Structure 1
Amino acid sequence: MSEITIRPLVASDRAAWAPLWQGYLTFYKSTLPQEIYDLTFARLTGGTEPMGGFIAEQDGKAVGIVHWVAHRTCWSAKDICYLQDLFVSPDIRGGGAGRKLIEAVRQMAQEKGYYRVYWQTHETNLQAQELYDKVAEKSGFIVYRQALPQ
């Protein structure tokens, strides 16, 4: 197998991105309506939102994606970067794609002058945590959320 390359996600990546996004949703036992797929991809690649993504490729095939969202924080005058979604094809996990995708977000955030990069994962995603423990520090915070009426 050849080296894994990382590049920014662009509008022409829709066909390669969609099955990876679906893989991420399936991993977390989630589904989304088609209009959210469309909106999400448009936001990620449109250049007008404070968000974007990267795609990992190996041997001409898309094998991973990561999405990021920049937002304000009360802790700094600089924006902060939330690494929102990271997915690598199961058949190449452990081969460096996840680390490279995280590094691409970190480098982009540093170039844009963001305050920090942060992310969360499910407590049962132990394989991902093995990587995360090597490239970042656990914050110690627990995430709570409340659903709002739709």
Structure 2
Amino acid sequence: MTIRPATPADVPTIVQLVRDLATYEREPDAVRLTEEGLETALFGEAPAVFAHVAEDETGSVQGFALWFRNFSTWEGVHGIYLEDLYVRPEARGQGLGKALLRTLAELAVERGYARVEWAVLNWNAPSIAFYRSLGARPQEEWSTFRLTGEALAALGAPADVPEP
């Protein structure tokens, strides 16, 4: 197996893997990602998101990790936030997921980052067990909040400013 940074040629495969992940996570119709959008995000003028792919012995991409830098004000350094990690079901059990996470951990250590973190669905017992086996622990005292859709639009709308 090979873990390597994604290239523009990987974009169609990564988009398909994102769709496969959404299906696994019971949200197959939620993906609005396009190849053009992902290519711009990963390889545009100022990319703020990054990806690594896992290839099998034939050179076929079997999984990916998509991530970006975050920042810890308490630690005073960056970290890595893993947005998505996915390995095709038929390729699981071969160490690809672990190799992708190891690559991100190596990057974090090499760059002096404080952590690698991610979210996992509460019902996803196989992934939770896998992450625990690597030494990762849930942040039990924290809850994830998300502002999206109508709530985001309402809060982000220009405030009415009284005229002088």
Q: If the TM-score is normalised by the length of the shorter chain, which range does it land in? A: 0.7 to 0.9
Deviation at 1:13, TM superposition (A): 1.2
Greater Rg over alpha carbons, structure? 2
- Structure 1: tracts of 5 or more residues without a match: none
SS in 2 for 1:67: strand
TM-score normalised according to structure 1 size: 0.85
Deviation at 1:49, TM superposition (A): 2.6
Tell me if 1:142 matches 2:143. yes
C-alpha change, 1:79 and 1:55, in structure 2 (3 Å) is same
Tell me if 1:69 matches 2:68. yes
Deviation at 1:84, TM superposition (A): 1.0
The question of whether the paired residues in 2 share the 8 Å contact of 1:50 and 1:71 is answered with no
Match of 1:8 in 2: 5
Which amino acid letter does the alignment assign opposite residue 54 of structure 1? Answer: H
Match of 1:127 in 2: 126
Q: Percent identity?
A: 25
Match of 1:27 in 2: 24
Q: CA RMSD in A?
A: 1.9
- Structure 2: tracts of 5 or more residues without a match: 154-164
In 1, the alpha carbon distance for the partners of 2:129 and 2:39 equals: 29
Deviation at 1:27, TM superposition (A): 1.7
C-alpha change, 1:56 and 1:130, in structure 2 (3 Å) is same
C-alpha change, 1:121 and 1:108, in structure 2 (3 Å) is same
C-alpha change, 1:47 and 1:9, in structure 2 (3 Å) is farther
Deviation at 1:128, TM superposition (A): 0.8
TM-score normalised according to structure 2 size: 0.79
Match of 2:115 in 1: 116
Which amino acid letter does the alignment assign opposite residue 19 of structure 1? Answer: Q
Larger RCO (alpha carbons 8 Å, 6+ apart):
1
Match of 2:54 in 1: 56
In 2, the alpha carbon distance for the partners of 1:52 and 1:105 equals: 11
Q: Which one is further off, 71-80 or 85-94?
A: 71-80
Equivalent pairs counted in the alignment come to 146
C-alpha change, 1:40 and 1:63, in structure 2 (3 Å) is same
